[in-house]
Amino acid sequence: MQGTDARLNELRDRLTGQVLRGTTGVQYYLRELIGEGGQGWVFRANWDEPDGFVVIVKVLRPDAVSHDALARFEREADVLRILSQQARPNPYIVRFFDHAIAQMASPVGGEPLVLPFTVLEFVNGPSLEKVLEGTTNRGMPLDRARRILKQIVQALEAVHAQKVVHRDLKPSNILITQEAGMEIAKVTDFGLVKLVDPNIRATVTLAGASVGYAPPEQYEKGNQRVSARTDVFSLAAIAFELLTGRMAFPFRDGDNPLIVISRILGGERPSLRQIGSAKLSPELEGRPALIEKLDSEFGKALDANPEKRHVSIAEFWKSIEPIFRAATERPSVEPAPAAGNSLAFIETIPAYGNRAAADPLGSTRPSAPAPEGLNSARPIAESPMTGGIHARRTPNATPAQRDDAKDRISALSPAGAQPLTPAPYGGASAPRIERFSSSPPGPAPSPAVFDSMVRVRKMDSEAANPGSWNWRIITPPLSPGVARAASFAADGASAVGVGPGGVARWDNFTWVGVRLPTGVSPALAHGIRKLRSGDVILFGDNALLVRMAPSGVHEVLRGTDHQASFHGAHVDEITGTLVFVGERPLMGRGVRPGATVGTALTFVEGRPGAHIDVQGSTRLNAVARILSGSLVACGDWGALGRIDGNEARFLGSICGGHLLALSALPDGGASTVGAGGYALYLTPRLEAKLEAVQTTKDLSSVTIGPEGTPWAGAAQARVLRRNEGSWIRMTPELGLQSNVLSVWASERHVRAICDDGAVIEGVLP
């Protein structure tokens, strides 16, 4: 039978719904066809039950069952079996389950058809080829490229250890999936579905080799020179494509493969420099020395003569991986300027790097204006990552400003409504909160009010849809772990961060270092807050509590226990109240060494109160003031505590993971998130309700948007939004592996700072 024979198509279609029996009696229920190759069909299937474990079944077509093809099919199944049955199977190779031969009645009668088949792991994700097609004609971020390549390298090393050469390595044979929240690459198709077609003009596969990725020795009769260096060539071609967004040896459908092979044999080697840094991975832009080093290694790995290439996959990887790292890392600290009595932030020096990122909105101002109406009439305090906000009228407002605020409130409030006395709650800006009296209802809202309500509902529906948002990296990463904590200003236009190398401010889409007072070590810091006044508060181990002003003046806040360690803060600039939570040594007889208790320390107008310990907790990580006026703190092992005045009450451990962040909600409750993807809603009575989350990764930050919607930051630069009791992942894959330290949200813009210095932004058009 020929490949175009209608009978083949009939047989292929008949296979859907059939049950094939494996070597141990296991049955495979064939479902839909998900792929075709020159020699076979690929079906999704269920293992042993109609709704059993999902696998892939590759069936060798009957017209391809020759002695040589069958021997090769079985040999490659044996290779996959060996790779899967190792004491430590490699997670980056598609797993083998079974190989058998089925018989099926021929659609034209006569002898039954012999159908060899192989059962493999089902990988739920696109091929690397599809991922590359989705790029914007530019190389992917180096961190992501490095991660994918490292996984492919580990897979190939396992293959080569079995004295096997893949021989068909290309983007379409690498599958990209998500496992436990991590992006994983899996190498597949070890020659199982190949086309051996004498008409070389009709296909881009020649003698079992993929044009553009296969080196010249694969086209030689007998393949005598095929070795591990053959896969080095293919891997280098893939690496080049990841960094450039284009093939190392490009061809188009219909091109004569011999022309491409001739170019590989005698043409110039692919060059990053010739493509231009503007088309390369963003980290390589303006890095000619690193580009030259990479070109040298690519020239060697892509040499037509296998003897001139790197001798192994490991050698090639060791030659390019350090260059990848050098491109993604930036100098941490430059020499500080001469000491002076005053050092304004605008006079500071680069701490994490000074490469400015382009403003995607064409402005250095914040992406979104401050909310209008009541919010703008009532200035708000700082929006800390785990603290709260006081929506209160500023004490020094002029009479005209106060009258204007009253006018706005009157205009926005329906008849009979009286605004609440401003109360503290968490978030990036204050939503309007009203309490209705028992007086008779006023007139029905006007059509304009109804129109406004419809618009709000429509916008909320759009905002809840991840596909409605456009996400981008507005500040590229600097280096892993460069930041330990971060805090946005209330308008999201600027931020501050702290890490082992120092403190820096984020402004105009770049990081600039901040000189610290003498004796203040950033290595001790666990947290940082940026206040509306421009001041910065730093807190951490050894009772570190420092308030720094833009003028350079600083104030050391001294508590009553120098052994305390602070991990979270609530800031109320209007009242001058600062609340810090953390841990301190547990005192008393019989206490084991190293035992700690969760503690809180309050400063009012710079004066400290007594430590308030939450007995039953070991460490508190975050605190916020809810609508009732109580302080609520969360901590390790799911600890939840309530603090009223000088009294603290341990409410219990509400989950098994560490709770890392907490923000108060307009309804009087709070949202808390933590390690392992835990997210809980706390009712106004502080009853905990576990909520569904679209990630199992640690949730490290939470904030409240102006409309009262919580947003959270997680590992792998993920940002999630709470919608009707569930947390929906809003960000696509951005190529970042860093943790989100702080989130700022307005109605149509969201920003997040990651621990590698990257800043990402989502825009709702």
* Greatest distance between any 2 Cα atoms in the chain: 99
On whether the pTM is more than 0.75, the answer is: no
Phi-psi region of 7 (alpha: psi -120 to 50; beta: other; left: phi over 0): alpha
Closest CA to 125 of 171, 191, 186: 186
Phi-psi region of 169 (alpha: psi -120 to 50; beta: other; left: phi over 0): beta
* CA-to-CA dists, residue 559 to 176, 519, 625, angstroms: 52, 17, 21
Dihedral in degrees, nearest 10, Cα atoms 736, 740, 743, 747: 40
Task: For 294-344, give the DSSP string.
Answer: HHHHHHHHT-SSGGGS-SSHHHHHHHHHHHHHHHH-----PPPPPP-S---
Q: Is the torsion defined by CA of 66, 68, 74, 79 positive or negative? A: negative
Residue written as tokens 């547990």?
586
pLDDT of amino acid 266:
81
pLDDT of amino acid 366:
34
Sorted by where each starts, the structural domains of the chain and their CATH numbers stand as 6-121 (3.30.200.20), 128-328 (1.10.510.10), 468-763 (2.130.10.10)
C-alpha gyration radius of the chain = 31
β-partners of residue 40 are: 60
Helix locations, 678-724, DSSP H: none
What is the mean pLDDT, run by run of 10 residues, along the chain of 765 residues?
64 89 91 83 92 91 76 78 78 90 77 88 90 81 92 92 87 86 83 35 47 85 83 96 91 75 85 88 89 95 94 95 83 35 31 32 32 29 29 34 36 32 31 31 44 51 88 93 92 92 90 86 91 89 89 81 92 82 79 76 84 92 92 94 91 89 93 92 93 88 91 94 92 92 94 95 93
Helix (H, G, I), strand (E, B) or coil at 31: strand
Closest CA to 374 of 393, 387, 389, 390: 393
* CA-to-CA dists, residue 739 to 490, 734, 742, angstroms: 21, 12, 9
Q: Are the CB atoms for 494 and 529 separated by under 8 Å?
A: no
Rounded to whole angstroms, the Cα distance separating 476 from 472 reads 10
Rounded to whole angstroms, the Cα distance separating 670 from 688 reads 9
Closest CA to 568 of 426, 466, 719: 426
* CA-to-CA dists, residue 602 to 539, 645, 665, angstroms: 13, 10, 22
Rounded to whole angstroms, the Cα distance separating 230 from 227 reads 5
DSSP state of 18: -
Side-chain half-sphere exposure of 176, counting CA atoms within 13 A: 18
pLDDT of amino acid 208:
52
Tokens of 688: 């905990």
* Position 139, amino acid: G
Task: For 249-280, give the DSSP string.
Answer: S---TT--HHHHHHHHHHSPPP-HHHH-GGGS
Rounded to whole angstroms, the Cα distance separating 620 from 613 reads 10
Beta strand 692-693 with 726-729: parallel, antiparallel or unpaired?
parallel
Q: Are the CB atoms for 427 and 661 separated by under 8 Å?
A: no
Closest CA to 647 of 614, 616, 620, 617: 614
pLDDT of amino acid 375:
30
pLDDT of amino acid 459:
59
**Residue 13: Cβ-neighbour burial (10 angstroms; 0-12, 13-18, 19+):** exposed
pLDDT of amino acid 574:
67
Rounded to whole angstroms, the Cα distance separating 304 from 572 reads 68
Closest CA to 544 of 496, 604, 503: 503
Q: Torsions phi, psi of 672, nearest 5?
A: -130, 145
SS3 sequence, 529-597? EECCCCCEEEEECCCCEEEECCCCCEEECCCCCCCCEEEEEEEECCCCEEEEEEEEECCCCCCCCCCEE
Q: Are the CB atoms for 688 and 649 separated by under 8 Å?
A: no
pLDDT of amino acid 504:
92
Rounded to whole angstroms, the Cα distance separating 128 from 175 reads 6
pLDDT of amino acid 331:
38
Rounded to whole angstroms, the Cα distance separating 225 from 236 reads 18
Task: Give the length of the chain.
Answer: 765
